[in-house]
Amino acid sequence: MKKRYGFDLDDVILNFMESFREFHNENYGTEHAFEEYTDFYLENILGCSKEEIVKRVDIFYNSHEHKNAEPIHGAIEVLKKLSEKYELIIITAKPEELREQTIFWLNTHLPNIFSDIVFTNHFQGEGLKRNKGDVCLELGIEAFVDDAIHNAESVASVGIPVLLLDTPWNKKFKETELIKRVQNWEEIEQILL
């Protein structure tokens, strides 16, 4: 049986924050630079309520900008190599309602690479809200890649090693025995392949 590796989608594979930043600047009159996104929770950056952020992110998910969001540099090449040896699964905090948009994006950039996509409904959406640690444990994931500290801690808490992809919003996090910071997909390739 092949090893199973898990991957977050937004800001690990799909360049969510940069695309959202451009969308938000254009549609809401802001002028934020990417480096200003130093907090994972957008309401702390944009000065809006959580409800307003959920609304704006929902609009973004159905926008041209999200549909055409670029992949994170190096992700496609490394994931193709990894898929030749291992089973790859996406575990995303996105709601189940975004399955169609998510599959469209994946089929555009990475067709036939992932054996499954799990939506945890973490921030919004109908259905059961699950944490990534429980999902990884249930699926037998042997290593996980994420950009969000709370997800990395959730997965590490069940004994699964995590590669934390370096971003402005996770800079303050100090590595632990099970959570290792990586700078780019080249490092992810060296560790997982």
Radius of gyration of the chain (CA): 16
The type of residue at 150 is H
Give pLDDT, residue 125: 61
Give pLDDT, residue 129: 82
Q: What is the pTM of this model?
A: 0.94
Give pLDDT, residue 131: 94
Strands of the 162-165 sheet, one edge to the other: 116-119, 87-92, 4-7, 143-146, 162-165, 179-182
Q: Mean pLDDT, consecutive 10-residue segments, the chain of 193 residues? A: 95 97 96 94 93 94 94 98 98 92 95 96 74 97 97 98 97 96 98 95
CA torsion through residues 163, 169, 172, 173, sign: negative
Separation of CA 151 from chain center: 10
